[in-house]
Amino acid sequence: MIYGSGGEWLGSGAKRIVLFGMSGLGKTYLANMLREAGDWFHYSVDYRIGTRYMGEFIADNFKREAMKVPFLRDLLLSDSVYIASNITFDNLAPLSTYLGKPGSPSRGGLPFDEYCLRQNQHRRAEIAALLDTRHFMDRARDIYAIPHFVCDSGGSICEVVDPDDPADPVLSALERDLLMVWIKGSDAHTAELVRRFDKAPKPMYYQPEFLEKAWVAYRVEKGLEAAQVNPDDFIRWTYARALAHRQPRYQAMARRGVTVLAEEVAEVRSPADFDALIARAIDRKE
């Protein structure tokens, strides 16, 4: 690790971390709080994916739908309107809407092949955005003179790396430059995330092998052809299984850094609280 002790972390004039773990456990809460303090640069991997690497795909999808409306079609063809994504750190809906859900077109689903194509686009984009971390660390220092840096990774980071490979290029790059911090949830947190997801299911990225198995298993269990699948029911069915699939992958990644509990994160109210939490986590590691 780049900090040998809690004291070294506390005394550092250039704190650098990457937060990872399940979505909904506090990564963005912490990153926003640190950014608002003024001396932390917040790099959002999901925002980078949705703007730099998938922005054109997202905008083209909007245009494709607009072209189905005669009024908008004429305006688009004459360059009279401009259609773009208004993605922000706190509103990633354009990205998740583009990813979509597989299943019946009459229920808003995508054909499975198209869904997999978009998943693969996301995979490439996420890897590229993670590897951009060093570039943004340099920008934060050289342009803005901001000393501290937090990389707010997406929940699917564990799906685009090989946690068990010591030479994994993405993890090796992150580990070289930043302290990796896993926010670990309890069984109760997982149950709450599943409850929330069941209430409002949202598209997400899945590891290809896991997705293929889930797609087959779901249809066998339900006795459905691909075009009969209810998209929301499929991703609800898949979500808890995806969390269970990710947990050991996060745990393997955490061997390269430190672990903090979601309960500890919930008690953080200031950058000083956060610094103390990370210092304790580093000393626990020893």
**Which residue do the tokens 């739908």 mark?**
65
How far is Cα 98 from Cα 118, in angstroms, rounded to an integer?
Answer: 8
Average pLDDT, the chain: 95
How far is Cα 244 from Cα 253, in angstroms, rounded to an integer?
Answer: 15
* pLDDT, tens only, 123-141: 999 999 999 999 999 999 9
Residues 6+ apart with CB under 8 A from 10: 275, 276, 279
Whether pTM > 0.85 for this model: the answer is yes
Residues 6+ apart with CB under 8 A from 271: 33, 34, 37, 40
- 238-263 mean pLDDT: 95
In single-letter form, the type of residue at position 256 comes to R
- 246-270 mean pLDDT: 96
Q: Are 275 and 10 in contact (CB under 8 A)?
A: yes
Percentage of the chain with pLDDT > 70? 100
* pLDDT, tens only, 89-107: 888 889 999 999 999 999 9
**Which residue do the tokens 């660390």 mark?**
137
* pLDDT, tens only, 15-42: 999 999 998 899 999 999 999 998 999 9
Q: Are 193 and 24 in contact (CB under 8 A)?
A: yes
- Per-residue pLDDT at 286: 61
- Per-residue pLDDT at 82: 86
pLDDT at 113 over 90: yes
Give the max Cα distance, the chain: 65
Name the residue ranges covered by the structural domains of the chain. 6-45+106-279
- Per-residue pLDDT at 182: 98
pLDDT at 201 over 90: no
Query: In CATH, what number does 6-45+106-279 get?
Result: 3.40.50
